[in-house]
Amino acid sequence: MQKKNFIIVGILFIITSSFTPGGNGFYDSFFSAPATAKVIRFYPNPATTVINFEFDKSVASTSVIAIYSFYGKKMSEQRLSTNKVSFILDDNYTRGLYVFQLRDQAGRLIESGKFQVNK
């Protein structure tokens, strides 16, 4: 029985280490920011009344940034006109996690991330 538990723990260690940063597994390929990140920064995080996004100059003005609730409801969307965009977090934004997506004109995902709202 102890040998079986040791094997199970070993397998779980191998699996979970591939999901952590630096594990060169699933986490690194899907959740790490690409070397050429288009969203330079977003602040403040956690946000209360407003969230600001700054973009790399290479992002086309035809790109769109959208904010979704963690449940998938689209909260806001803006077409980029400059390399900085701000969203006012009105009463529809409650405390919780939100996801942003930057998409090109064809709708292809360029970059995504998450931020927190504390109200």
Domains and CATH numbers, the chain: 1-32 (no CATH), 34-117 (2.60.40.10)
Residues near 60 by beta carbon (within 8 Å), at least 6 away in sequence: 80, 104, 105
Confidence band of 4 (pLDDT split at 50, 70, 90): low
Residue 97, phi then psi, degrees to nearest 5: -95, 145
**Which of 5, 110, 104 is closest to 63 using CA atoms?**
104
Inter-residue contact 45 to 116 (CB < 8 Å): yes
% of the chain at pLDDT higher than 90: 64
pLDDT in tens, 28-42: 434 444 456 799 999
How many Cβ atoms from other residues are within 10 Å of residue 53's Cβ? 22
pTM assigned to the model: 0.69
44, 81, 100, 102, 112 from 105: Cα distances, Å: 27, 13, 16, 10, 15
Which residues are paired to 115 by β-bridges? 98
**Helical H segments across 73-116, by residue range:** none
